[in-house]
Amino acid sequence: MRPDVERLCADLDAELTRDAPIGREHTWFGVGGPCDALVRPRTEHALSTLLRRCADADVPVRVLGDGANLLVADEGVDGVVVKLDQPVFEACTIGVDGRADLVRAGGGADLAKVMHASVRAALDGLCPMAGIPATVGGALRMNAGGRFGAIGDVTACVRLMRPNGVTEELPASAIRFDYRQTNMPRGVIVRADFQLQPGDQEPIRTRLKEIMAYKSGSQPMAAHSAGCMFRNPTLPSGERVSAGMLIDRSGLKGLVEGTATVSPEHANFLFVPEPRTGRATDVLRLVERVIDRVREAQGVELHTEVVIWRRGDRTGAIQ
């Protein structure tokens, strides 16, 4: 049964879109179905009230960030999807509480914009986020990063709104930042503070350019994909190995399943060349084929890093 979204959003300072085509219009894959309701709260109070009402009605709530680490199934996803793209959730402030090295950014703020603002202020620490498309909240939830560092390395504090609508401040010491995951409680990341390192702008800008050049030269940045599809697995020996290397060694570069393809440039990137006619089902089938082939050829089990939303499955829901 679909939720009574009019009742859930009644009197809220929020924008409501029913049957919003989030898969095709709000993810980097550019494929997949709609959500029952896309809600854009304009205030923290509206967000809090919405979460509380959804919790009382047992309606699943998911948060849509930049859509760069997300695949929506062709049948879409049930419940309410929240998008924090209003000014109160996108603000970025350089220098907080009288501290020049502290940057505060809303959970819906574009990570790249926050990074560039910090570089202009001659603050180092967010340059490793170069080339990672994400909102601040999405990046924090999965501890986004790469070979140059992770966002958890410079996080000072997170303001989290729990499923009951109550907010709390979590210092970084209360959060375990692991490889592409955290132990952060369920809820919506409203904002975060980052403690950066003051320095000279030119060396910081040079480092940013070097990181971007490396990524542009090794990854299909313009493809309709969600970045790395699989997490780098850990072997029984404790060594973490590259999922892309394992897929490449299994001879799977360029493998095609319907409208989906394994990138011939970077084997851990799966993409849809023609998203308008593409299908999320093909991506999911390709994922299974890659997992099976790598298991057979390399004896290693791969697990997806990309979040998959399906109707009737509460994966990715905060409640």
Distance CA 276, CA 289 (A): 23
Q: What is the mean predicted confidence (pLDDT) over 208-220?
A: 81
Give the tens place of pLDDT for each residue, 229-258: 999 999 888 899 999 999 999 999 999 999
Which candidate, 182, 192, 126, 125, places its Cα nearest to that of 158? Answer: 192
Q: What is the mean predicted confidence (pLDDT) over 201-216?
A: 91
Which candidate, 90, 103, 116, places its Cα nearest to that of 190? Answer: 90
pLDDT band at residue 218, thresholds of 50, 70 and 90?
Answer: low
Span of 61-65, 87-91, 116-120, 234-238 with lowest mean pLDDT = 234-238
In this prediction the pTM is: 0.93
pLDDT recorded at residue 232: 94
Q: What is the mean predicted confidence (pLDDT) over 281-290?
A: 98
pLDDT band at residue 149, thresholds of 50, 70 and 90?
Answer: very high
pLDDT recorded at residue 3: 77
Share of the chain above pLDDT 70, in %: 97
pLDDT recorded at residue 255: 97
43: exposed, middle or buried (C-beta count within 10 Å: 0-12, 13-18, 19+)? Answer: middle
Distance CA 83, CA 67 (A): 10
pLDDT recorded at residue 219: 66
Give the tens place of pLDDT for each residue, 292-319: 999 999 999 999 999 999 999 999 999 7
What domains are there in the chain, each with its CATH number?
Answer: 5-87 (3.30.43.10), 89-205 (3.30.465.10), 230-303 (3.90.78.10)
Q: What is the mean predicted confidence (pLDDT) over 91-110?
A: 95
Q: Mutual orientation of helices 111-120 and 201-218 as an angle, nearest 10°?
A: 150
Say how many Å lie between the first and final Cα of the chain, rounded.
Answer: 17
Does 222 score more than 70 pLDDT?
Answer: no
Does 86 score more than 80 pLDDT?
Answer: yes
Does 224 score more than 70 pLDDT?
Answer: no
Distance CA 16, CA 13 (A): 10
pLDDT band at residue 286, thresholds of 50, 70 and 90?
Answer: very high
Those residues whose C-beta lies under 8 Å from the C-beta of residue 130, and which sit 6 or more positions away, are: 112, 115, 148, 208, 211, 212, 215
Q: Beta strand 155-161 with 149-150: parallel, antiparallel or unpaired?
A: unpaired
Does 220 score more than 70 pLDDT?
Answer: no
pLDDT recorded at residue 39: 97
pLDDT band at residue 34, thresholds of 50, 70 and 90?
Answer: very high
Q: Sheet harboring 35-41: ordered strands across?
A: 14-20, 35-41, 77-83, 61-64
Average pLDDT, the chain: 94
Residue that is written with structure tokens 């990672």 in the block = 132
Q: What is the mean predicted confidence (pLDDT) over 82-102?
A: 95
pLDDT recorded at residue 5: 85
pLDDT recorded at residue 80: 97
Q: Are 44 and 301 in contact (CB under 8 A)?
A: no
pLDDT band at residue 21, thresholds of 50, 70 and 90?
Answer: very high
Share of the chain above pLDDT 90, in %: 85
Give the tens place of pLDDT for each residue, 36-62: 999 999 999 999 999 999 999 999 999
